């Protein structure tokens, strides 16, 4: 074998094992949802509903996309592949879009209010679409992982917070996939992949908002949540290294929350929402376990 052949084989092996990007994911043919439904008046206040075969009532997985809370990165289409896989496995999926940093009304409080309103819209969808809200969980990826755990924490919000609600939809638990859950920790020590500390400042309203900007936005400040949480990381993730998931999981366990921390081998950031990746089998099993 020539030296050039050895180099070529090594390069091919590296490419085969290197983590995928969101561009790799979105280059595939995307499956289609069953319906696009508005939950508010803004053009970005909508979700896509994926309905499995059968009469129902169907268990529900609400999913929240990531993208660093930023308008210049892809939106809910990132979750289409995972949504289609969950639909095929008999789950109804509600994939939420929301206003982000750079959209009019995005940031604090709009991003949080959109996610909350989108989730609460499940109450209106349940009857017409035969959804079983007694078996409903939320899952999110990256920035969406933060928003998913925050959504689970909504009953813990102070009544003085602009984000509080009287009767948020009840959720059995949350599955965070490469979630940027601890905003303070990521602000202090996170990679610059999302744009550095300023990207954390924007969704929490810093520096313009008075008081503790993390008190109603960062889930560790709202512990214990009193509900099951599954914190999933990939050991090759350069965007949200697994130490962040491990740190949040340890904090949740320390106050008595039923939290499971999973560090998946040979998985990067986007493998966690890729149903063709080995990591997805474990993730889907964890979602199903929360629904059972």
Token look-up 């319906």 returns 35
| CATH number of 34's domain | 3.40.50.1820
Residue 7 counted as domain residue: no
Vertex 252 angle, CA 248 and 258, to 5°: 125
Q: Which domain holds residue 136?
A: 22-291
Give burial (CB, 10 Å; 0-12/13-18/19+) of 171.
buried
**What is the arithmetic mean of pLDDT over 128-136?**
98
Residue 16 pLDDT: 47
Cis amide leading into 163 (omega within 30): no
The answer, yes or no, to whether residue 11 has pLDDT greater than 80, is: no
Q: What is the DSSP letter of 170?
A: P
Residue 235 counted as domain residue: yes
Tens digits of per-residue pLDDT, 82-103?
999 999 999 999 999 999 999 9
Give burial (CB, 10 Å; 0-12/13-18/19+) of 10.
exposed
Q: How confident is the model at residue 15 (pLDDT cuts 50, 70, 90)?
A: very low
Residue 9 counted as domain residue: no
Tens digits of per-residue pLDDT, 200-238?
999 999 999 989 999 999 999 999 999 999 999 999 999
Q: How confident is the model at residue 9 (pLDDT cuts 50, 70, 90)?
A: very low
Structural domains in the chain (count): 1
> Helix, strand, or coil here: 289?
helix
Tens digits of per-residue pLDDT, 66-83?
999 999 999 999 999 999
Vertex 270 angle, CA 264 and 272, to 5°: 40
**What is the arithmetic mean of pLDDT over 13-37?**
86
**What is the arithmetic mean of pLDDT over 250-255?**
98
Could you count the other beta carbons within 10 Å of the beta carbon of residue 214? 18
Cβ within 8 Å of residue 184, ≥6 positions away: 214, 218, 220
First to last CA, the chain: 54
Q: How confident is the model at residue 195 (pLDDT cuts 50, 70, 90)?
A: very high
Residue 69 counted as domain residue: yes
d(CA 51, CA 41): 24
> Which one has a higher pLDDT value, 11 or 290?
290
**What is the arithmetic mean of pLDDT over 239-262?**
98
**What is the arithmetic mean of pLDDT over 174-182?**
98
d(CA 64, CA 61): 10
Residue 16 counted as domain residue: no
Cβ within 8 Å of residue 4, ≥6 positions away: none
Report phi then psi at 165, rounded to 5: -140, 150
The mean of the pLDDT values for the chain is 94
Residue 10 pLDDT: 32
Residue 17 pLDDT: 67
196 backbone φψ class: left, alpha, beta (φ>0; ψ -120 to 50): left
Report phi then psi at 63, rounded to 5: -125, 145
Residue 74 counted as domain residue: yes
Report phi then psi at 235, rounded to 5: -75, -10
The answer, yes or no, to whether residue 61 has pLDDT greater than 70, is: yes
Residue 4 counted as domain residue: no
**What is the arithmetic mean of pLDDT over 18-32?**
95
């Amino acid at each position: 074998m020539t030296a050039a052949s050895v180099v070529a084989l090594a390069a091919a092996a590296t490419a085969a094992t290197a983590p995928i990007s969101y561009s790799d994911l979105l280059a595939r043919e995307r499956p289609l949802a069953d319906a696009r439904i508005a939950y508010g008046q803004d053009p970005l206040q909508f979700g896509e509903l994926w309905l499995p075969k059968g009469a129902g009532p169907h268990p529900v997985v609400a999913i929240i996309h990531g993208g660093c809370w930023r308008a210049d990165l892809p939106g809910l289409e990132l979750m289409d592949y995972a949504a289609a896989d969950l639909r095929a496995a008999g789950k109804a999926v509600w994939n939420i879009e929301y206003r982000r940093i750079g959209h009019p009304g995005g940031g604090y409080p709009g991003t949080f209010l959109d996610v909350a309103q989108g989730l609460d819209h499940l109450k209106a969808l349940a009857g017409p679409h035969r959804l079983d809200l007694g078996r409903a969980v939320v899952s999110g990826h990256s920035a969406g992982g933060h928003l998913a755990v925050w959504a689970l924490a909504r009953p813990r919000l102070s009544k003085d917070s602009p984000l509080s609600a009287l009767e948020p939809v009840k959720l059995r638990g949350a599955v965070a996939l490469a979630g940027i859950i601890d905003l303070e920790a990521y602000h202090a020590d996170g990679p610059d992949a999302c744009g550095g500390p300023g990207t954390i400042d924007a969704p929490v309203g810093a520096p313009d908002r008075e008081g503790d900007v993390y008190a109603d936005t960062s889930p560790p400040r709202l512990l214990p949540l009193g509900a099951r949480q599954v914190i999933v990381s990939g050991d090759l993730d350069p965007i949200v290294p697994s130490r962040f998931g491990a740190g949040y999981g340890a904090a949740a366990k320390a106050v008595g929350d039923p939290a499971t921390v999973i560090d998946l081998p040979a998985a990067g950031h986007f493998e966690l929402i890729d149903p063709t990746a080995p990591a997805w089998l474990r993730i889907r099993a964890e979602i199903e376990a929360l629904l059972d």
